[in-house]
Amino acid sequence: ADVEVTHWWTSGGEAAAVAEFAKAFEEKTDHKWVDGAIAGSGGTARPIMISRITGGDPMGATQFNHGRQAEELVEAGLMRDLTEIAEKEGWKDVVKPSSLLDSCTLDGKIYCVPVNIHSQQWLWLSHKAFADAGVDVPTNWEEFVAAAPALEEAGKIPLAMGQQPWQTTLAFQVLLTALAGPDAYTRIFGDKDAEFAGGEELAKVFEAAAKAREMSAKSNIQEWNQATSMVINGEAGGQIMGDWAQGEFQVAGQTAGEDYTCLPGLGVNEVIQTGGDAFYFPVVDDEEVAAAQLELASVMMSPDTQVAFNLKKGSLPVRGDVDLEAANDCMRKGLDILAKGNIIQAPDQLMSADSLTQVNDLFVEFFNSPDMSAEDAQKRFADLIANAD
């Protein structure tokens, strides 16, 4: 049967990764993969997917950030229960970290297939910029902040930051995890501990964020890859960005350790967040498609598909039992941390999209309005956390 799969992976690397799924699916089964890509990230694609599902014309499978985005669709009985095949194939045992599968689970039933792990907690540093400014390449956030004046003096922008909302939010979350530690992160996003969010410990995170805001004040750019390219050619000292930034350095022919340095967890708390993507399978009437859905789920989870996909995508596989030989330096750092179990859950998994958007909005505003003091921001943050779910 033809299985229509919708997703928003349209850039070069992403599309190549998806192609691995399609290839594997068509090779291993008799079904056909009908690609329904919609570019413009989740913001554009998600309403379309949701409309399709609620409109009674669902696709065979669809990408969502796993977590709570699809919760209501599941509750409304619009998503296929995958528990049976998951148990049969023993997903519980192979998926590492197990939290990935937890967020696919509702009332003990599994509704989605996690396919990859993306980590965000990285600080990318330009060797050239620091050389020009005459300071050593920092090894953690503190040193980086200390080097900022020198960078500025040399006509560099200390911290490059694109101004799209998700980038500023990412920066804050990274600062939070790295500076206040994984527990603090969990208390806030997981337990929604408003008192803690308004407390002393977090104040220093907000101070750091204010500092980051100051350091990035002059970077007048929108796209994250523009920021990355400033790091690459030494105009900026560094950038806080997810592991996908690595692709840019590779394209520019730079080598980790020589031309640039990557610091997971900002060099302070070496943890990574295990966010990622997952596929859901809406309930369909067509028997054949229904059968194909299960096969697709199985293909996506299979070890070789996982390897092929994640190498292309630049992310980490969800299975603990596969080997990534081709991984590069920074990716290895990530794998190590993963192996040590220094992981935290992604915010999507902990908090509703609604609350997250509010948090996003706050940081977007904070990073773009120099007059908003760290205290104000913290107070509003605490309020948000108090009302979050």
Partner 1 sequence: MSNTGALNIAAAGADAAAHDLAGPRGARPKRALSGRNIMIYGTLAVVSLYYLLPLYVMMVTSLKGMPEIRMGNIFAPPMEITFEPWVKAWATACTGLNCEGLSRGFWNSVRITVPSVFLSIAIASINGYALANWRFKGANLFFTILIVGAFIPYQVMLYPLVIILREMGLYGSLTGLVLVHSVFGMPILTLLFRNYFTSVPEELFKAARVDGAGFWGIYFKIMLPMSLPIFVVAMIIQITGIWNDFLFGVVYTKPDLYPMTVQLNNIVNSVQGVKEYNVNMAATIITGLVPLIVYFASGKLFVRGIAAGAVKG
Partner 2 sequence: MAATRRPPTLFRNLNAKIAAIPMILTALVVFVGGTAWTVVYSFTNSRLLPREKFVGLDQYERLWSSNKWLISIENLFIYGICSLVLSLIIGFVLAALLDQKIRFENTFRTILLYPFALSFIVTGLVWQWILNPQFGIQAVVRSLGFESFSFDPLYNPDIVIYGILIAGLWQSTGLIMCLMLAGLRGIDEDIWKAARIDGIPMWKTYLFIVIPMMRPVFITTLVIIASGIVRVYDLVVAQTSGGPGISSEVPAKYVYDAMFLSQNLGQGFAGSTMMLLAVIIVIVPWAYLEFGGRKRHV
Let me know: does 66 contact 104? Beta carbons within 8 Å: yes
User: Which are the contacts of 256, defined by CB distance < 8 A and separation ≥ 6?
Assistant: 246, 249, 262, 328, 329, 330
Does 244 interact with partner 1 (rule: CB under 8 A)? yes
**Which residue of 3, 18, 73, 113 would you call a contact of partner 2, by CB under 8 A?**
73
By a kind-dependent CB cut-off of 5 to 8 A, residue 7 interacts, out of partner 2, partner 1, none, with partner 1
**CA–CA separation, 176 vs 189, rounded Å?**
11
Return the residues of window 310-329 that contact partner 1 according to CB under 8 A. Answer: none
Tokens of 274: 């295990």
Does 222 interact with partner 1 (rule: CB under 8 A)? no
**Which residue of 102, 143, 152, 365 would you call a contact of partner 2, by CB under 8 A?**
365
Does 54 interact with partner 2 (rule: CB under 8 A)? yes
Nearest 5°: the CA angle 273, 229, 159 is 65
Closer Cβ to partner 2, 255 or 368, answer by number: 368
Closer Cβ to partner 1, 44 or 368, answer by number: 44
What burial class does residue 261 get, using C-beta atoms within 10 Å of its C-beta: 0-12 exposed, 13-18 middle, 19+ buried? buried
ω into 97 cis (within 30 of 0): yes
Unique residue bearing structure tokens 């030989």: 325
Closer Cβ to partner 1, 20 or 348, answer by number: 20
Nearest 5°: the CA angle 290, 294, 297 is 135
**Which residue of 1, 3, 25, 36 would you call a contact of partner 1, by CB under 8 A?**
36
Nearest 5°: the CA angle 38, 41, 45 is 45
Does 351 interact with partner 2 (rule: CB under 8 A)? no
Does 6 interact with partner 2 (rule: CB under 8 A)? no
By a kind-dependent CB cut-off of 5 to 8 A, residue 71 interacts, out of partner 2, partner 1, none, with partner 2
Sign of the dihedral defined by the CA atoms of residues 335, 337, 340, 344, in that order: negative
- Read off the amino acid at residue 350: L
In the complex, minimum distance from the CB of residue 225 to partner 1, in angstroms, rounded to a whole number: 7
DSSP helix/strand/coil, 222: coil
Does 369 interact with partner 2 (rule: CB under 8 A)? yes
Which residues contribute to the site for partner 2 (CB under 8 A)?
Answer: 42-43, 46-47, 50, 54, 69-73, 76, 163-165, 168, 220-222, 226, 352-354, 356-358, 361, 364-365, 367-369
Which residues contribute to the site for partner 1 (CB under 8 A)?
Answer: 4, 6-7, 9-15, 18-19, 22, 33-41, 44, 47-48, 51-52, 54-57, 59, 223-225, 244, 247, 251
